[in-house]
Amino acid sequence: MHSLLDYDPKVLVAFHKSLEGDRKFSDFLMSNGYQELEALSSAIHSNEAALQWLLDNGYPEFAVLSNAIDNEENAIAWLDRNGCSFLSLFAAACRKEDKAIKWFADNDLRLFILMIDTIHHILLYQSWDSSDFHKFRRS
């Protein structure tokens, strides 16, 4: 199983910038052998094709992570059942669960805390966007 801990901090900085929407860093990930991180970034931004790419290309734990971040119970259970404890903690922190956030702070994982904060803001934006009546489809 893959984990975010497997990556060099410089690559994780690029992933974080990709999460923030910086195309330059998304392109960097794609052209330097980190397609899975760009796909994860896109999946977190609700890109279904990216989620499927992760499943089809040997990164199911990252696809499940994206769903666990969205608080899908089956995904959370899958991470726990398959020994992905770091990814499970990361997803919990992204959902703003206090115990998980404290763990990252206690372990001085600042880069991960930045990613967690960015992902939390993405989730807030998605929540606001989904409740914007101006964007409702008319039948």
DSSP state of 21: T
CA 28 to centroid of chain Cα atoms: 18
Q: Give tens-digit pLDDT for 16-40.
A: 999 999 999 999 999 999 999 999 9
Q: Read off the pLDDT band of 139 (50, 70, 90).
A: very low
Name the packing angle between helices 110-130 and 98-106 (round to 10°): 150
Q: Residue 1 pLDDT > 90, yes or no?
A: no
Q: Residue 129 pLDDT > 70, yes or no?
A: no
Q: Using CA atoms, how far apart are residues 35 and 75, in angstroms rounded to an integer?
A: 22
Residue whose tokens read 């290309």: 57
- Is residue 50 within 8 A of residue 57, CB to CB? The reply is no
Alpha-helix residue ranges (DSSP H) falling in 20-109: 23-31, 35-44, 48-56, 60-69, 73-81, 85-94, 98-106
At 52, list the tokens: 């499927």
Q: Give tens-digit pLDDT for 36-70.
A: 999 999 999 999 999 999 999 999 999 999 999 99
Q: Which residue has the higher pLDDT, 130 or 76?
A: 76
The confidence score (pLDDT) of residue 126 equals 67
Q: Give tens-digit pLDDT for 60-114.
A: 999 999 999 999 999 999 999 999 999 999 999 999 999 999 999 999 999 999 9
Which region, left, alpha or beta, applies to residue 71 given φ > 0 means left and ψ of -120 to 50 means alpha?
left
